[in-house]
C-alpha cells in the first residue's frame, strides 16, 4: 500500500509543476511499478486444515451468520473468546460486508414466484427490474426511507506472522481455529471455513471492483497458481 501511495504522490507533485502534463508523463516513464497481484500476500491454501499460507504469515478465514441481535450469553462468550482464548497482540478481525452483487440470488428467489398467463414474460421482467433497482438504488416506499437490497455477510480472519511451515506451527494454529469455532458455536453462531474458491472470489470482487455490477464474474480457481495471482485481473 505504501508503494501505491508513493506513486500517487509523485504523480500529484508532477501535475502541480508549471509543465504538469509533460512532467507527469516523465514521472510515469521513470516508475518501475509492480503488478498489483505481487503486492498481495496470499499464496496457498490447505483444504485439510483450512489454513492459508501467505508470504510471511499463516492464518484462516471463517464465514459466520450475521447477528440480528445479542444477549448476555453471546456477550459473555465473545468476551471470553477475546480475553482468554486468543493469543496476545495478534488481533482477530471481523469484516461485515455489504454487497449489491445479488443478481443470482434475486433470480433464484423469483424462480418459484413466476407469473403465469399470456403476459407472464412481461410481468416477470417488471418484477425482476423492481428488485434490481432496489439493489442498485433503493426501494420506492411511501415513507421515503433509503431501504436497499443487499447481501450481508460476516467474515472472521486471523493471521500471525511466521515463515515456519513445520507441523508444530500448523498444529497450534489448527487447534486455535477449532477453539474459536467451538466458542462461537456455543453462542449459537454457526461458522464455516472459507474455501479457496470462495476466498479468491471475495478478494477478486474487492480488487476488481465494478460498483454497478449485480452479477459477479466467476473466477476460474486453479490449485496450481498462487492465490494472489488469481485474485487480480491479469491486466492490472
Q: How many CA atoms lie within 13 A of 219 on its CB side?
A: 25
Confidence of residue 32 (pLDDT cuts 50, 70, 90): low
Residue 143 domain flag: no
Write down the mean pLDDT value for the chain. Answer: 85
- Other Cβ atoms within 10 Å of 201 Cβ, number: 20
Residue 38 belongs to some domain of the structure:
no
- Please report which residue ranges of 68-146 form alpha helices under DSSP H: 72-80, 103-110, 120-136
- Asked if 92 and 160 sit in the same domain, the reply is yes
Q: Is residue 211 included in any domain, yes or no?
A: yes
- Domain with 121, as residue range(s), is 103-136
Is the Cβ–Cβ distance between 36 and 236 less than 8 Å? yes
Distances (CA, A) of 149 to 100, 128, 135, 137: 7, 13, 4, 8
Do 29 and 118 belong to one domain?
no
pLDDT at 182: 96
**What's the confidence (pLDDT) of residue 212?**
85
Regarding whether 5 and 117 lie in a shared domain, the answer is: no
Give the span between the Cα atoms of 76 and 84, in whole angstroms. Answer: 12
* Domain shared by 110 and 172, yes or no: no
Question: Rounded to whole angstroms, how far apart are CA atoms 69 and 117?
Answer: 43
Backbone Cα Rg of the chain = 23
Grid cell digits, residue 36 = 498489483
Cβ atoms of 180 and 81 closer than 8 Å? yes
CATH number at residue 89: 3.30.1460
**Mean of the pLDDT values across residues 129-152?**
88
pLDDT digits (tens, 9 = 90+) for 89-130: 888 999 999 999 999 999 999 988 888 889 989 999 999 999
Tell me, yes or no, whether 154 and 215 share the same domain: yes
Say yes or no: 171 and 59 in one domain: yes
pLDDT at 95: 92
Domain count, the chain: 3
In this structure, the answer to whether residues 165 and 223 fall within a common structural domain is yes
**Model confidence pTM above 0.75:** yes
Q: Say if residue 115 is in the same domain as residue 126.
A: yes
| 144 within a domain of the structure (yes/no) | no
Dump pLDDT digits (tens) for 40-88: 899 999 999 999 999 999 999 999 988 888 899 999 999 999 999 999 8
Above 80 in pLDDT, residue 174?
yes
pLDDT at 216: 86
Amino acid at each position: 500500500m505504501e508503494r501505491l501511495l508513493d506513486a500517487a504522490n509523485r504523480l500529484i507533485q508532477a501535475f502541480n509543476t508549471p509543465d504538469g502534463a509533460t512532467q507527469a508523463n516523465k514521472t510515469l516513464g521513470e516508475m518501475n511499478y509492480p503488478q498489483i497481484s505481487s503486492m498481495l500476500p496470499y499464496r496457498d491454501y490447505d483444504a485439510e486444515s483450512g489454513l492459508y499460507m501467505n508470504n510471511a504469515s499463516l492464518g484462516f478465514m471463517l464465514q459466520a451468520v450475521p447477528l440480528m441481535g445479542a444477549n448476555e450469553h453471546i456477550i459473555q462468550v465473545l468476551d471470553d473468546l477475546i480475553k482468554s482464548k486468543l493469543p496476545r497482540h495478534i488481533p482477530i478481525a471481523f469484516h461485515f460486508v455489504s454487497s449489491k452483487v445479488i443478481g443470482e440470488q434475486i433470480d433464484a428467489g423469483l424462480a418459484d414466484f413466476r407469473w403465469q398467463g399470456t403476459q407472464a414474460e412481461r410481468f416477470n421482467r417488471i418484477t425482476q427490474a423492481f428488485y434490481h433497482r432496489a439493489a442498485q438504488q433503493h426501494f420506492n416506499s411511501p415513507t421515503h426511507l433509503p431501504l436497499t437490497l443487499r447481501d450481508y455477510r460476516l467474515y472472521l480472519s486471523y493471521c500471525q506472522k511466521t515463515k515456519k511451515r513445520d507441523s508444530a506451527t500448523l498444529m497450534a494454529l489448527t487447534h486455535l481455529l477449532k477453539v474459536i469455532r467451538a466458542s462461537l458455536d456455543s453462542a449459537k453462531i454457526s461458522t464455516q471455513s472459507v474455501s479457496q474458491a470462495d476466498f479468491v472470489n471475495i478478494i477478486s470482487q474487492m480488487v476488481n471492483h465494478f460498483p454497478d455490477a449485480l452479477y459477479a464474474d466467476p473466477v476460474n480457481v486453479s490449485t496450481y497458481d498462487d492465490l494472489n495471482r488469481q485474485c487480480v485481473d491479469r491486466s492490472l
